[in-house]
Amino acid sequence: MALLADGVSRLLIDGKLTSGGAGAFVTVNPATEEVLGEAADADAADMDRAIGAARRAFDETDWSTNTELRVRCVRQLRDAMREHVEELRDLTIADVGAPRMLTAGAQLEGPIADLSFAADTAEGYEWTQDLGQASPLGIPTRRSVVREAVGVVGAITPWNFPHQINLAKLGPALAAGNTVVLKPAPDTPWVAAVLGELIAEHTDIPAGVVNIVTSTDHALGAMLAKDPRVDMVSFTGSTATGRSVMADAAATIKKVFLELGGKSAFVVLDDADLAAACSVAGFSACVHAGQGCAITTRLVVPRARYDEAVAIAAGTMGSIKPGDPSKPGTVCGPVISARQRDRVQSYLDLAITEGGSFACGGGRPADQPAGFFIEPTVIAGLTNDARVAREEIFGPVLTVIAHDGDDDAVRIANDSPYGLSATVYGADSQRAAGVAARLRAGTVNVNGGVWYSADVPFGGYKQSGIGREMGTAGFEEYLEIKAIATAAN
């Protein structure tokens, strides 16, 4: 059966695909501005039902203790997505504006494959650790440490890499024994809702274990953070919204995972191949129109070669033309919405106000009359104190900043409220590794190394978040630890 065959997505609540209490809302292709179809628009009553279903499924079934069932179900979801991968690819390109080339990686096929890691981790995990016998306070005691599911997880996800983020939460949360209510961004409802179809029709996941609630009402996310029936909130999105989630969750002292913003630095040392480094930085800033929290958007280069670095980055970015994401060679597609395009443009206008200049780009491409496109843009002439160098823009924008040696480069890179990712390029690998070790960031790429992988934890320092997603650390975010002490006779 074709996915979303009638052009309308539905909620998944308590095992049933259903319409939304608030009706439906239109979803738009960001590359063409054409209407794709409709998505179910949930209301507060729908969210209340979803939370109740998740609570019952956790409390009244053996889901949390039946590891064999959970592993099988996660693998079934993986296999169902693989069987429908070409439909999912076309849907992702249309709903997200994701370039086709990225669907072979982090926009689709990578996250599907990563479900294997979640299932394999659960299957081989040491759920009980025997600490042996001891005599604390003189009492012979057998001790063990048990790891078990947190409970009901509220997952709130953004629109930029929706498959990756939805599955990076669902996979480990389910494999660890939790039940989940997923509230995806309204900008990309279809890629989340289609999981509901696949779960309901192609897996043995029991009713209520996964609930998917699409809605234009952002207050429904706050319901997850506030509701005492929810044991944990896993949120990916802006730092400002993360603060609200954390504040709402504080009332019930529930566990919170936050993966938030970034303003990551690409540090070029004075012994680096400047042409190679600045070309990589320019290309990276254009991928998916710069809509990635870990994309390096500050290019920090030796002052003596500043103009040369700007010219190289501008040469690369100026040659990358925003275009149709369905075409195989497109690197830079549209941003997600007219609202986001206007937001990016406001930062470009601000760059000029702050005294900067554009080495390339600076506005909307003249050859794209429709779609939410922004030209790849290099901003020159500003310091790290400028707002465009400090705030997350989420567009194909690279700000070039001069440094006066390694210590200054580290200072600039770390002079940010964020600490999500970073890159270091230098000919002397030991020197580059030494700089990388001093950076306050959760992931660091040295000379082109790739940190993105299912077994590598991802997350940041400072206002980039709390906790880690992916890897064993990401799996264990969804576990509680219980110590059991039994008197030994």
Q: Which residue has the tokens 């900067």?
A: 356
Q: Which residue has the tokens 């998916």?
A: 288
- Give the contacts of 402 (CB within 8 A, at least 6 positions apart): 300, 301, 302, 303, 306
At residue 425, the 3 state secondary structure works out as strand
Number of Cβ atoms within 10 Å of the Cβ of 75: 18
Over residues 92-109, the pLDDT tens digits come to 999 999 999 999 999 999
pLDDT class of 167 with cuts at 50, 70, 90: very high
* Separation of alpha carbons 289 and 372, rounded Å: 10
Could you give the C-alpha distances from 483 to 131, 135, 480, in angstroms and in order?
10, 15, 10
Share of the chain above pLDDT 70, in %: 100
45 and 26 co-located in one domain: yes
Mean pLDDT on 310-317 = 98
406 and 291 co-located in one domain: yes
Range of the domain at 29: 8-260+464-486
Does residue 113 register a pLDDT over 70?
yes
Residue 451 domain-assigned (yes or no): no
Mean pLDDT on 4-18 = 95
185 and 219 co-located in one domain: yes
Residue 205 domain-assigned (yes or no): yes
Which residue type sits at 456?
Answer: V
416 and 356 co-located in one domain: yes
Residue 362, sorted as left (phi over 0), alpha (psi -120 to 50) or beta, turns out to be: left
Share of the chain above pLDDT 90, in %: 99
DSSP characters for 141-201?
EEEEEEEEE--EEEEE--SSSHHHHHHHHHHHHHHTT-EEEEE--TTSHHHHHHHHHHHHH
Comparing 252 with 3, the larger pLDDT belongs to 252
Q: Average model confidence (pLDDT) for the chain?
A: 97
DSSP state of 175: H
Residue 3 domain-assigned (yes or no): no
Does residue 297 register a pLDDT over 60?
yes
Active-site residue, from 38, 109, 197, 259: 259
CA 427 to chain centre: 32
Over residues 249-265, the pLDDT tens digits come to 999 999 999 999 999 99
277 and 134 co-located in one domain: no
* Separation of alpha carbons 485 and 489, rounded Å: 13
At residue 472, the 3 state secondary structure works out as helix
Q: What is the pLDDT of residue 1?
A: 55
Over residues 38-53, the pLDDT tens digits come to 999 999 999 999 999 9
Mean pLDDT on 275-288 = 98
Strands 11-13, 16-18: pairing kind? antiparallel
Beta bridge partners of 296: 264
What is the dihedral sign for C-alpha 171, 94, 216, 464? positive
Residue 2 domain-assigned (yes or no): no
The tokens for 35 are 């209407």
Number of Cβ atoms within 10 Å of the Cβ of 405: 12
217 and 353 co-located in one domain: no
Closest CA to 281 of 293, 262, 269, 268: 268
174 and 297 co-located in one domain: no
- Total structural domains in the chain? 2
* Separation of alpha carbons 420 and 260, rounded Å: 8
Look at the pTM and tell me if it is higher than 0.95: yes
Does residue 114 register a pLDDT over 70?
yes
227 and 273 co-located in one domain: no
34 is catalytic: no
Q: What is the pLDDT of residue 294?
A: 97
Does residue 289 register a pLDDT over 90?
yes
pLDDT class of 192 with cuts at 50, 70, 90: very high
* Separation of alpha carbons 157 and 166, rounded Å: 6
Mean pLDDT on 321-349 = 97
Residue 456 domain-assigned (yes or no): no
At residue 371, the 3 state secondary structure works out as coil
At residue 419, the 3 state secondary structure works out as strand
Task: For the chain, give the longest Cα–Cα distance.
Answer: 82
Closest CA to 125 of 424, 404, 472: 472
Mean pLDDT on 194-198 = 97
Closest CA to 319 of 334, 305, 329, 304: 329
135 and 66 co-located in one domain: yes
Does residue 472 register a pLDDT over 70?
yes
